Amino acid sequence: MKDLTLTHEVLEALTTRVLMGMGAPQGSAETVARSLVLSNLVGHDSHGVIRLVEYSGWVQGGQIIPGALPRVEWEKQATALIDGEWGWGQMASALATQTVIASAQEFGTATAVLSRTNHVGRLGEYVDEIAQAGMMGIAFCNTGGEVVAPFGGIKKVLGTNPFAWSVPGVAGYNLVLDFSTAVVAAGKVILAAMNDQEIESGALIDKNGIPSTRAKDLEDGGALLAFGGHKGSGLSILIDVAAGMLAGNLPATISKSGFGNGTVIMAVDISRFVPLDFFRSITEQFAGTIHGAGAPGNSVVLMPGEMEAKTKELRLASGVVVSGGVRQSILEVAAKYGVPVPELGRSTPDL
Amino acid sequence: MKDLTLTHEVLEALTTRVLMGMGAPQGSAETVARSLVLSNLVGHDSHGVIRLVEYSGWVQGGQIIPGALPRVEWEKQATALIDGEWGWGQMASALATQTVIASAQEFGTATAVLSRTNHVGRLGEYVDEIAQAGMMGIAFCNTGGEVVAPFGGIKKVLGTNPFAWSVPGVAGYNLVLDFSTAVVAAGKVILAAMNDQEIESGALIDKNGIPSTRAKDLEDGGALLAFGGHKGSGLSILIDVAAGMLAGNLPATISKSGFGNGTVIMAVDISRFVPLDFFRSITEQFAGTIHGAGAPGNSVVLMPGEMEAKTKELRLASGVVVSGGVRQSILEVAAKYGVPVPELGRSTPDL
């Protein structure tokens, strides 16, 4: 199929319908659709509407209960436990984010833990919301499915365990950092392996621990590497233990479920320490220094979150490109649930 | 001078005397000495007693007020501001650590910010104490003196901005991660430059942004690189803004003071979410998996904090090696204050 460009409204509407087809109540479907399309808008298509395929499989496998709604299991002073009830991870994350912001408004700092939660989506979305509320946000989660070897090792025992961090930003964007602790996303390597392609060096070792660029080595007993040597590997280990244990889904290598995101979200109310206006004006000045830190004549050096904000502005105006492969995949998922998706055309190879 | 091996008690005692010579009250001197020698014990000699040289310069320059004591400026629910009063950073950090632990015991989570604080020492020490209290600890600080270029840039605009993270561990050690966001410590490169040595590749660029291993390139307009590409660089930027702004010492490139550590310490009481015994037993099991993740026949892969614990055990038993250079430097500092240090011998080249 050919690529197709859709407005984000159209993409959200059709994604909502497909999710409702899977059994999601309208409110949940709208929240999840908004979250997925937001990932497309900011340029992280790997976390965008393509995830409908995976979610459909989980709904059919019983790992996602589409009608389940998250709830605050308990809240005690500056801590809260959110029970995802194995519903949509984005719903649980939205509740956790609201809870942690309200709690940090009262106590100055707060921590929410999400238990029994499916794929939470893109952590950057939630810490961005915390920054939008004038706070510093930290979020991390462990991921099922061991694909990463610890520094000095060759066996896959860690997930891609992402980490996100934000503070309120400047005109147009908050400072949002959001990264996988693996050098590259597992999905990217699996895709490259399907097409028998190479991946960048420094990201993968083969089954004997030898550095490799052959994507197929991941399935042939190899492993992804953590970014930044022992430092990124240490972050991944801390995330797996801290998030896995606090959330109760356990470190990936012990739970062996290959599933669920044990997630921790923290917030600190900045205005207790410094007036937010001053925070923003100095950060603006700091951003100017970073922008100018490149070689003479080179393009500006970007702040965390700036690329995403620029991409979002562009795609809000010109639409989101849905690749032929993604079109085909979503049409197939929609067909399973008898949901018509005329916006993507008919599922025939000649389109 | 020859290297000399001293017990940690002897090293602590002489370090305490030198600090008292600089004007520190006995309690402060003991705390700072214990902190410095602990860094030697766990194998991080760069943060050990050699710092007496730097501290002496700061005391003489008026940046450290040796008799000043830190105080809790304010405490409001789960947040606190510690005023270091420009005294010893280790004193302020000890107060902040105690404050954040007590606050997290009451509120479940807490954040303490340290303002007007000199060199705080090794962040790993403080998050280790938090872990020892059964909590997850996070600490980060911005450092004065720009030596690191952001990812994609070539100009020195960031400090080495360290990050530390801990959770309670297993028999013998807590899981403690503590790293500089620069690939290598600035001190190491400066030392290599003095001896006209090379440093590891991937850590340094020259003034034109070309990768270099020539240590002298740092002073010749080059810059250190952040670890892990855009991820480590993003961490460094978030630390500089978050810690610099919350603590009021501002990001290094704006304050231009070249001095002080804006520091944030956070704690989460784990027992609110999971029984600590269960946490520890699963972590022990997880550590076993990490240990066995190496190539067959290879040595075990270590957990964060494990190397430090092993080194400490060894050095508690066999003593701390004080190199000839460090001996000479401490003798010179001690002589300035008229403090006799017979444990290190006389300051003559033939020793």
Q: How many CA atoms lie within 13 A of B330 on its CB side?
A: 30
Q: What distance lies between CA A192 and its chain's CA centroid?
A: 20
Average pLDDT over residues A218-232: 96
Distances, alpha carbon B272 to alpha carbons A76, B107, B108, B349, in Å: 9, 10, 7, 59
The predicted pLDDT at position B349 comes to: 44
User: Is A77's CB within 8 Å of B107's CB?
Assistant: yes
B211-212: strand order across its sheet = B148-149, B223-225, B204-205, B211-212
Helices within chain A (DSSP H only): 8-21, 26-41, 51-61, 89-107, 123-132, 186-194, 229-247, 252-255, 276-291, 306-318, 324-336
Does the pLDDT of residue A350 top 50, yes or no? no
User: Is B246's CB within 8 Å of A274's CB?
Assistant: yes
Q: How many beta-carbon pairs under 8 angstroms link A with B?
A: 228
In the predicted model, what is the mean pLDDT of chain A?
Answer: 94
Q: Convert A135-172 to b/e letters by CB count within 10 Å (16 or more is b).
A: bbbbbbbbbbebbbbbbbbbbbbbbbbbbbbbbbbbee
Q: Which SS3 state, helix, strand or coil, does residue B250 take?
A: coil
Does the pLDDT of residue A248 top 60, yes or no? yes
The predicted pLDDT at position A351 comes to: 40
Of the candidates B267, B249, B269, which has an alpha carbon nearest to the alpha carbon of residue B259? B249
Whether ipTM tops 0.90, in short, is yes
Searching chain B, which residue's CA lies closest to the CA of residue A227?
B228
User: Is B286's CB within 8 Å of A154's CB?
Assistant: no
The predicted pLDDT at position A345 comes to: 87
Searching chain A, which residue's CA lies closest to the CA of residue B181?
A231
**Distance from A320 to chain B by nearest Cα, in Å?**
25
- Helices H / strands E in chain B, number of each: 11, 13
Among partner residues B138, B227, B241, which is closest to A283 by beta-carbon distance? B241
Q: Could you give all domains of chain A from N- to C-terminal order, each with its CATH number?
A: 1-64+319-351 (1.10.1530.10), 68-182+226-317 (3.30.1370.60)
Average pLDDT over residues A133-148: 95
Among partner residues B167, B240, B272, which is closest to A79 by beta-carbon distance? B272
Residue B296, number of CB atoms within 10 A of its CB: 8
The predicted pLDDT at position B350 comes to: 41
pTM: 0.96
Selected for mutation to probe chain B from A74, A107, A291 (highest B CB count within 10 Å) is: A107
Q: How far apart are the C-alpha atoms of A123 and B320, rounded to whole Å?
A: 44
Which pLDDT tens digits describe chain B residue by residue (351 residues)? Answer: 899 999 999 999 999 999 999 999 999 999 999 999 999 999 999 899 999 999 999 999 999 999 999 999 999 999 999 999 999 999 999 999 999 999 999 999 999 999 999 899 999 999 999 999 999 999 999 998 899 999 999 999 999 999 999 999 988 999 999 999 999 988 788 878 888 889 999 999 999 999 999 999 999 999 999 999 999 999 999 999 999 999 999 999 998 776 789 999 999 999 999 999 999 999 999 999 999 999 888 788 999 999 999 999 999 999 999 999 999 999 999 999 999 999 998 754 444
Selected for mutation to probe chain A from B154, B264, B301, B307 (highest A CB count within 10 Å) is: B301
The predicted pLDDT at position B347 comes to: 52
pLDDT in tens, A250-284: 999 998 776 789 999 999 999 999 999 999 999 99
User: Is B270's CB within 8 Å of A208's CB?
Assistant: no
**Distance from B287 to chain A by nearest Cα, in Å?**
10
Residues sharing a CB contact under 8 Å with residue B138, sequence separation 6 or more, in sequence order: A138, B127, B164, B165, B166, B264, B265, B266, B267
The predicted pLDDT at position B282 comes to: 96
Does the pLDDT of residue A126 top 70, yes or no? yes
User: Is A79's CB within 8 Å of B107's CB?
Assistant: yes
pLDDT in tens, A150-199: 999 999 999 999 999 999 998 899 999 999 999 998 878 887 888 888 99
- Quick check: A300 and A292 in contact, CB under 8 A? yes
Q: 């007020």: which residue's tokens?
A: B65
Single-letter amino acid, residue B301: V
Selected for mutation to probe chain A from B286, B298, B302, B303 (highest A CB count within 10 Å) is: B286
Q: How far apart are the C-alpha atoms of A305 and A309, rounded to whole Å?
A: 6
Does the pLDDT of residue A229 top 80, yes or no? yes
- Determine if residue A79 is left, alpha or beta; phi over 0 gives left, psi from -120 to 50 gives alpha, anything else beta: beta
The predicted pLDDT at position A347 comes to: 52
Cα torsion B165, B295, A184, A91 to 10°: value is -60
Distances, alpha carbon A138 to alpha carbons A100, A282, B70, B96, in Å: 11, 21, 28, 20
**Distance from A206 to chain B by nearest Cα, in Å?**
11
Among partner residues A157, A264, A290, which is closest to B237 by beta-carbon distance? A290
pLDDT cut 70: percent of chain A above it: 98
Parallel, antiparallel or unpaired: strands B261-269 and B109-115: antiparallel
